[in-house]
Structure 1
Amino acid sequence: MSEDETNGDESPETDDTEPVDLEAIRTRLDGLEDDLEELDSNLESAETEPDLDVVEADLESFREELESVEIPEPPESDDEDDEDDEPAPEEELQERHDDIESDLSDLEDDLEDQRGPYGEDVISEIEGVSGTITGTRWSVEGDEELIVAVDEFLAEFNSLLGSDVAVPGDLEPASGAELGDNAVENGQAVREGLGDTLAEATDAVEAADLDADDDAETIAALLEATDDFEDDIDEATEWTDLEVREQLRREGFYDVLDHVKDFPPEWHALKVHEKRGNVDQILLAYDSLGSEFMEDHCLEALERMGPEAAIEPMVQKAGRRDTAAMRILGKIGVADEEVVDALVDYVDSNPDLQKPAFRALGEVGAADAVEPLAQQLAEDNADVRSWAARALGLIGDTRAIDPLADILADDEEDRVRASAAWALAQIGTVDALEIVADYDDDRAYLVKAEADNVDLEPVA
């Protein structure tokens, strides 16, 4: 083929390639957009399950037609300046196709949301609660709470469904170890009895053959009752909960309580122990309670108190990358070798761990950390450089003056320079203060403010 034969507006075509009619594709997409608007209107007006079945079938047919529309790839171009040109027709068509597909997916989701609820949903919820009951070991109190909860649920259930399901009258709450050798066996009997009772309830729902349209109000009320039932079961006392409380009770943790002001009682007792400075009891609660809520409050109490008795457990916890423990060690402020070693391990770590570790090293005045912290002044991350500078200022070691002065002079980030100025002011020697004072007309307000705060007048 000659060069002249290839010069033209159309790309060369092989014998097997036929030109694509882009206008025909555009027309099909116009029609699909109109059809989709009609489907949206049909879904909005659908009131019954059969109506929704019709819309669902129409949506399936629509998707098949949409998937049959093939958008050709846009022609490749060797022009490097094409980024500023208008998009190719094929790209515009593909974008319209994608928008239609996205709107179709939204309609399909709306269809599912508009269906039901069904009797099968009630059965599924009851079976879920039953599984919690039968799969958990409960305390004596828990057994009693379960029986009451099932009784109350069945009263509402029977009222709504016209059934007569009832808890067996011979169930004895006896899961607690204090009831002797038969405790586990009796507790298992309670769980199995309640499980069998709830199985009767699901059978009653199935026998009722509830219709999603005709019985919509009944289904909704049953689901609401089941939600309340689930909440009651969640609040019942498990054996593991009771075991921890019994342990704390034997250790005298609750002896400080004349009454329970805050729930849970462990929280109230923790506040009293913090007020009285009972570090051993707070550490006991921290070690014993598996609740994330209570663990957080124990750590917060220790952080406020800063007791040296907490050093060893907090060093261990800090060794497991725990930032709260690092903050507590900083609050305690004792720069013994064990504490410093635990914190220095995170100096060259990730920023989430560096920030609390740097702060804690500064607060404990860790002279051994000056060199590794000074090395962090060369890090790419501006936050890391800023945190390192402030930690060096808290430590107050004069070895940090020169590297901090370099950061103040040369760092590209003004907030890092401001941190260096603050750190030099904290070190407070005449040399350090004179360096900062020279920046009283600095371009950066933050740096200038630190310089303005420097007082070089001799102290009388």
Structure 2
Amino acid sequence: MSNGDEEPETPAEDAPAVTPESFEDRLTEAEESLDAAETESDLDDVEATLDAIEADLEAADLPEPEDDDEDDPREELESTLSDLRDALEDARGPYAADVVSEIEDAKTKIEDGEWTEQGEDEVVEAAESYADAMGEILDASVSVKSPSHFDVLGALDDIAEAISSADLDADEDADTIAALVEATEAFKQDVEDAQEWDDLTVVEKLDAQDFYDVLTPKNRKDYPPELTAVRIYEQGNNPEMILLALDMLESNFMQEHCIDALKRMGSPEAYEAMLGPAQKRKKPQIEVLGKIGNPEALDTLLEYVEADNDPQLQKVTMKALGEIGDEAATQVIANNLVSENEGVRSQAARALGLLGDTRAVSPLGDVLDDDESDTVRASAAWALNQIGTKAALEEVARYNEDKSYIVQVEAEKADDALAVQSEPAA
């Protein structure tokens, strides 16, 4: 008779012991079942077995290693379990949905690829063969309607839809799915093998874009032929082809010649290509921006005028700003008339002359009066002559007996200009 207190439960005598060895046995049995599995249902059973083992392993009170050198049985069992799950995943399928996913990958490759003309033809040809193969496997009508990039994508959508509509079973339609997989893998490889721009050499890329069409059997012999082509394109005022060469020809020799050609041309079409390098303080590109004359470059260039740690950059930039001709640069340039560097002072004066801003007449006159360098004074005199107003010319004309010959020359030019201005109108 019970006294009201419950008797403690005792484990059943035939309950299996929970040990690392018992888990190893169960994992071995699961592996054998996996190897023997022939259907998705068999694989589902193996997955259920692995789930049960994992749950029991998490709840099991297994012995801990006594020292750091001893292997942890729990870690080894978990590793084996993980390997079996990977093997189970590999054993599943293939499924019809996997084929559709592969088709989407192929579409992305086709959309993103930079195909040559030959490559586009190869992609279309591959798609046509693929559509024929898939139509036969699925007993469906699928085709590329015309040899174009967009119709290839449309045909792939039709194929994916036909696969989804077929409602294929991984077990019952295993042979059909295997055929779909094989055909799709072959198609993806054909797309991968189709020619893209990155597959071409630089010469092949230029040739594909008609760069060499201006060459004749006679001038093609000149070396390098690319330089001959650039010179012809410069004469024909074709900056696009020179920009193409600049982008693709990496030799310093050709880079310099392309930039020199663009500098002489001053083509607005080169603005964007020059702006990026100019923002990295590349001096040749800054020179081209000056020749182009786009005032939008001011935001990039003005800060370089104050780069007193790089006088060469200052000089190149001030000349470019003078050529652009926007008077918004006047004050920043004028600040450099008192630079410690003689070359910077000289270029600042000349840049002000190019700008033609009459506000610069007084500071240029001060330079002509006070600067210790005759070169800088001559630059100031030249700048005043460029401004050309009566006040500017009178500043220079005062120095027609200057001790410096180069200053005298500018003073004489000012005298002549004043004389012309004073002549009565006819």
Taking structure 1 as the reference length, what is the TM-score of the superposition? 0.46
Taking structure 2 as the reference length, what is the TM-score of the superposition? 0.50
- Structure of higher CA gyration radius: 2
